[in-house]
Amino acid sequence: MEIKTVATNRKAKFEYFLLDKLEAGLALKGTEIKSIRAGQMSLAESYVLVEKGQAWLIDAHIAIYNPASRNNHDPRRPRRLLLHKKELRKMTSEVNQRGVTVVPIRVYIKDGRAKIEIALARGKKLYDKRDAIARRDAEREQARSFREK
């Protein structure tokens, strides 16, 4: 089972506390999956919207597939996430009751199919972000001093 990571949302771990992770499928058109396999996808500024018993990936950019010419897709169209009803119900209740959000973390190809890893997340406050930056800088300095010895 080979897994090839196509796109990651690097800001997600910095902006949010990731609580619970799920794997979902993506409902795509033919030119979209070809573009994803070529690595032409970005999760920057994308989010997951849960409404009416369905989950949607909003604002993810999948570049147009040049060989398809005029039969291409809209690069920023909403894409449906394929989840089990039980997972959708749990996610909907968490979003409504606990005030968390659903954030896409990474897109990868698993067994020839595009999958997306999403997480229930709670937003970090400014002081949490500063703490993360300070911790990361301290680790970097410690690694540097360790290498110099």
* 120, 91 contact by CB (below 8 A): yes
Per-residue pLDDT tens digits for 89-114: 888 888 888 878 889 999 999 988 88
Q: Indicate the pairing of strand 101-110 with strand 61-62.
A: unpaired
Give the C-alpha separation, 65 to 51, whole Å: 30
Residue 149's pLDDT is what?
A: 65
pLDDT band at 84 (very low <50, low <70, confident <90, very high): very high
Radius of gyration of the chain (CA): 18
Better-predicted residue by pLDDT, 23 or 30: 23
Pinpoint the alpha helices (H) of 1-149.
Answer: 12-15, 30-37, 85-98, 126-148
* 107, 115 contact by CB (below 8 A): yes
Q: Provide the 3-class DSSP secondary structure of residue 87.
A: helix
pLDDT mean over 76-86:
90
Per-residue pLDDT tens digits for 2-19: 888 888 888 888 888 888
Asked if the 3-148 domain carries CATH number 3.40.50.300, the reply is no
Nearest CA-CA partner of 101 in 19, 40, 32, 42: 19
Count of helices and strands (H, E) across the chain: 4, 9
What pTM did the predictor assign? 0.79
